[in-house]
Chains A and B, each alone.
Chain A
Amino acid sequence: MSPVPPVKPEENEFRPHVYDGIREYDKRLPNWWLYTLYITIVFWVGYWGYYEWFRAGPTGAQDVAAEMARIESARLSTAPLDDPSLWKMSRNSEFVAAGKAVYEAACAACHLASLRGKAESTVAIGPDLTDTTWVHGGRPTEVHALINKGVLAKGMPTWGPVLGARKIGEVTAYIMSKHREGEPVVIAPPASP
């Protein structure tokens, strides 16, 4: 990358004007300089196109919101499991997204992808998780404990050893994300056999 392009003979000629004794060559522009200019112009077109025209990239606000959600979820994953922290998890996009994935893999077979279980389809095995009538208690810690231990008599497996603590927390957050925080629940009497 030589800063000085090869000199053609005519480039050693002066411009006709002389200003207070100052003469001017009219040498051609160095190529590397021109390409620097062109590349930055192309970058402008590409960058504007990506972020402003197609809106393919996140805005600064979206960026920081996603990052803060990640940080919040990292904080919550080490927080003690109690009702407030589980409610917080249910409002955290990272947790809910992870819980959704766990739910779809492990729970949707019985409770259906809509979480509505028997309320949606008579052939579904599990009960509705979106209503406010809960058989085994509706506080987040109760839901968490239920998933952990299962209710073998009713066909709910013991998920604790299978999913592990983190995933159960996530799937609890996903279920609770379908409810308003502190939503009143009714404990339904056990169905008579």
Chain B
Amino acid sequence: MPASKLTLEFNDQVVRQFVLASLVWGVVGMLVGVLVASQLNFWQLNLGTSWLTFGRLRPLHTNAVIFAFVGNMMFAGVYYSTQRLVKARLASDFLSALHFWGWQTIIVAAAVTLPLGLTRGKEYAELIWPINIAVALVWVVFAVNFFWTLARRREPSLYVAIWFYIATIVTVTMLYVVNHLSLPTSLTHSYPVFGGVQDALVQWWYGHNAVAFFLTTPILGIMYYFLPKAAERPVYSYRLSVVHFWSLVFVYIWAGPHHLLNTALPDWLQTLGMTFSLMLWAPSWGGMLNGLLTLRGAWDRLRTDPVLKFMAAAVTFYGMATFEGPLLSIKSVNALGHYTDWIIGHVHGGALGWNGFMAAGMIYWLLPRLWNRPLHSVALANLHFWIGTVGILLYMAAMWTSGITQGLMLGATAENGTVLAYPNFLDTLNTIRPLMLMRVIGGALYLVGFVLLCYNAWRTVAGAEAVNGTVEVPAEEEAPEPRLGLLATFLNPPVMFSLLGTGFACAWMFAAEGLSILGLVGTLLCAVLGYAHWESRGKAWAGWYDRLLVNTAPFTILTFIAVAAGGLIQIVPLVISHRAANVEDRKQVPYTPLELAGRDIYVREGCYTCHSQMIRTLVPDVLRYGDYSRLGESIYDHPFQWGSRRTGPDLARVGGKYPNVWHLRHMEDPRAISVGSNMPSYAWLLRDDTDVTALPTKLSVQRALGVPYPDWTPEQIRSRVDTQAKVIAADLKAAGAYVAPEREIIALIAYLQVLGRSEVVAATKAETRASQ
């Protein structure tokens, strides 16, 4: 047979599109970031209009940076590297184009709906349900395009970058679908199916692992391709890749509850969240090590090559962030850092340092190759690097100092520990104002650096000729790869030891007495026997893994099992346990129709971006806000509003604390009541009318979700709303304030005044163990 060659042209058109889109959305996302950061310093920048307030723009910033900037950059990197790593053109030009344009349409839809206040009220999951469906569909397009390309590959074995891409696609699908399950009440509004503590757990299982599988694993894959290419050095260790890949994808999922430490979340989940976060430290650093050690022998080129500079710094920031993460997951450290700027600093270490610099490194490397023209200016790229680095360091230093300062001030006590040293929350906020300003400067510097990248890209690309990469492949189809059947996928030492070990460990943790001890013994046996077997038959393990690497489907199935385990074990027990029977000693009273309407306004305005509704089991929280929050006090909250950052005070028990007129004046002009507050004015709430017509549908959806509402007719609902609204309006009138009962502010006051209301019930078992 003559060995005839075929020249394959890659689809680099879609890569170019994604690169340019990433640059554009990067500027937009960061610009909004600088704006919202400035709003915290200068409330006037909320500009007196509802759609530019912090509460609505902050979700726009996070969504734009995560899904638009990093998303587009990730798709560019995945498509560019995958085609070359598997020696195949992207399977379908149509799907590639659909993926690109679909994704950009979603981003535009998000940029329009979020400022309009159309939101689901869950962090990084704010987009409304029709957009959710579009995201799911486009993600499926991506998955089909990707796996179809793998199916047509001419390189039988899958490189480590591909492993990370597979984990990304599988896991994001799972997370996104579960956390976006909702029942619509209209075309633009829905309630999540989970409520209260269940919603909290599902949300942070999603939120934490969106960081893991949207911002980390695909970028690790990109690192494994672009870093050795740019450094022209071999990857340091294949076996480190294997160990850190599997441990990372398995352990990451379990760590979600570390966002809910010291809250009403059952203790066993908090313990899992904390301990698995600590176990995540080494797997994360495995990626950093493989990146940094791959640079051995190329360090001298760091001085001249901006691509390597960016990548080496990015990997270093990744190492810093993944050390800080486990540190912050220790309950006592978390008690100080949670709800403060420390967390904001932590995520920006990852976002600006790891994601932003990897994006920059990759794009500087790609531009000359995609457009066949040398980079316009290496000096500008170097300038970008230094401005960006200074920006990140300023940002992080400011946020560390700010977070620790405010955390310490909020926790400080006087008079033998019996009273708060800073009872006025605003004292702590105004202390950190200079640091918040320093953060704006750091962020702005970073943005300036990024604009330099855009300018450099524009000068490089303008008028240049786009070129597509090619590769020579044998014209003849190679013999199909040996199939790894279902039996061989599972019946082999590594998989069996892992499955059995995990099963036994779960029995130890969750089963009753006898079975629990059996689980402990089984776990230890699996560990010892597994190690012994690996020592003696290590070659067989490696041989099986080599076979796995030429089989996409078994590899994907095993990855899915590894990532699904943690979520199943944490979420299922909490969801199937009857929630009204699992409330500790307090049970929430369902909202009246007017209060529910007020709550929807609270969610729409994004109040949760600055106010928590969760008093932790910590003395400073209890001293400041009242008795700690119980599991049962938010069971009917769809979505939960426990919050993640306290720019303002906690609101879990604000009901009844102030008279109605206090809230009215405060929403109209916060500074008239709280001198020095940075909260926006919400004047439109005094002008606009509450949407009462939507309430019948909303209540019936809430009933379908298990909230015990009677089967009221629309007339009954309206009369209840009217009665309650008139009482509040009359009370305001008596205090000298005239507001029509139809106005939104009346509904919002009704809601705020019941926060913390619950009925005392017989204490039930606070903990739901998986065995029960």
Contacts and interface: CB of A to CB of B under 8 A. Distances in A.
Contact of B276 (A22, A24, A29, A44): A44
Interface string B270-294: 1110111011011101100100010
Contact of A51 (B262, B271, B619): B271
B317 to A, nearest CB: 18
Given A14-B234, A68-B622, A43 B278 contact: yes
B619 A44 contact: no
B229 A22 contact: yes
A60 B267 contact: yes
A163 to B, nearest CB: 22
A106 interface: no
Contacts of A44: 275-276, 278-279
Given A47-B271, A51-B267, A37 B238 contact: no
Contact of A26 (B238, B275, B628): B238
A169 to B, nearest CB: 16
A29 B282 CA distance: 11
A40 B279 contact: yes
Contacts of A3: 289, 293
Interface string B126-168: 0000000000000000000000000000010101100000000
Nearest to B469: A20
B236 interface: yes
B234 A43 contact: no
B662 interface: no
B282 A24 contact: no
A21 B623 contact: no
Contacts, number: 124
B518 to A, nearest CB: 13
B229 A71 contact: no
Interface in B67-98: 81, 84-85, 87
B155 A19 contact: yes
B417 A74 contact: yes
A60 B278 contact: no
B500 interface: no
A88 B550 CA distance: 73
A69 to B, nearest CB: 11
B240 interface: yes
A67 B262 CA distance: 14
Nearest to A70: B417
A5 to B, nearest CB: 10
A40 B618 contact: no
Contact of B617 (A28, A34, A64): A64
Given A25-B236, A74-B417, A36 B289 contact: no
A12 to B, nearest CB: 10
Interface in B715-772: 766
Given A17-B157, A21-B229, A44-B275, A27 B281 contact: no
Given A47-B271, A48-B271, A48-B509, A37 B247 contact: yes
Contacts of B237: 24-29
A15 B234 CA distance: 10
A67 B617 CA distance: 10
B666 to A, nearest CB: 29
A27 B294 CA distance: 11
Nearest to A14: B234
A75 B420 CA distance: 13
Contacts of A27: 236-237, 239-240, 293
Contacts of B618: 64
Contacts of A41: 279
Contacts of A26: 237-239
By DSSP majority rule, is chain A's interface helix, strand, loop, or mixed? helix
Nearest to B241: A24
Interface string B232-268: 0011111111010001000000000000001000011
A47 B628 CA distance: 24
A191 interface: no
A59 interface: yes
Given A20-B84, A67-B619, A29 B628 contact: no
B446 to A, nearest CB: 29
Contact of A68 (B235, B282, B296, B619): B619
Number of chain A interface residues as a range: 35 or more
B234 to A, nearest CB: 4
Interface string A2-18: 01100000000011010
A74 B271 CA distance: 31
A29 B243 contact: yes
Contact of B235 (A25, A53, A70): A25
A30 interface: yes
Contacts of A15: 238
A79 B158 CA distance: 73
Contacts of A64: 617-619, 622, 628
B554 interface: no
Contacts of B160: 24
Given A22-B228, A48-B509, A51-B271, A61 B628 contact: yes
B214 interface: no
A43 B326 CA distance: 13
A15 B326 CA distance: 33
B238 A24 contact: yes
B365 interface: no
Contacts of B278: 40, 43-44
B516 interface: yes
A185 B136 CA distance: 73
A74 B619 CA distance: 14
B4 interface: no
Contact of B270 (A25, A40, A60, A67): A60
A82 interface: no
A182 to B, nearest CB: 21
A175 B558 CA distance: 65
A25 B225 contact: no
Contact of B285 (A20, A21, A33): A33
Nearest to B156: A17
Contacts of A70: 417
Contacts of B7: none
B418 interface: yes
B268 A52 contact: yes
B520 to A, nearest CB: 9
B416 interface: yes
A43 B282 CA distance: 13
Contacts of B159: 17, 19, 22
A180 interface: no
A63 interface: yes
Interface string B609-622: 00000001111001
Contact of A47 (B229, B262, B274, B508): B274
Interface in B422-474: none
B606 to A, nearest CB: 29
Contacts of A154: none
A48 B619 contact: no
A14 B237 CA distance: 10
17 contacts: A3-B293, A17-B157, A22-B229, A23-B235, A25-B237, A26-B237, A27-B240, A33-B286, A40-B275, A41-B279, A43-B275, A48-B509, A52-B268, A59-B617, A59-B766, A70-B417, A71-B417
Given A34-B282, A40-B278, A44-B275, 14 more contacts: A20-B85, A24-B237, A33-B289, A36-B282, A40-B279, A40-B281, A44-B276, A44-B278, A47-B271, A47-B274, A51-B267, A52-B271, A53-B508, A67-B619
Interface of A: 3-4, 14-15, 17, 19-30, 33-34, 36-37, 40-41, 43-44, 47-48, 51-53, 59-61, 63-64, 67-68, 70-71, 74-75
Complex A-B, nearest 9 residue pairs according to Cβ-Cβ distance, in ascending order? A60-B617, A37-B282, A44-B275, A23-B234, A20-B84, A19-B159, A27-B237, A64-B617, A24-B235
Interface of B: 81, 84-85, 87, 155, 157, 159-160, 225, 228-229, 234-241, 243, 247, 262, 267-268, 270-272, 274-276, 278-279, 281-283, 285-286, 289, 293, 296, 326, 416-418, 508-509, 516, 584, 616-619, 622-623, 628, 766
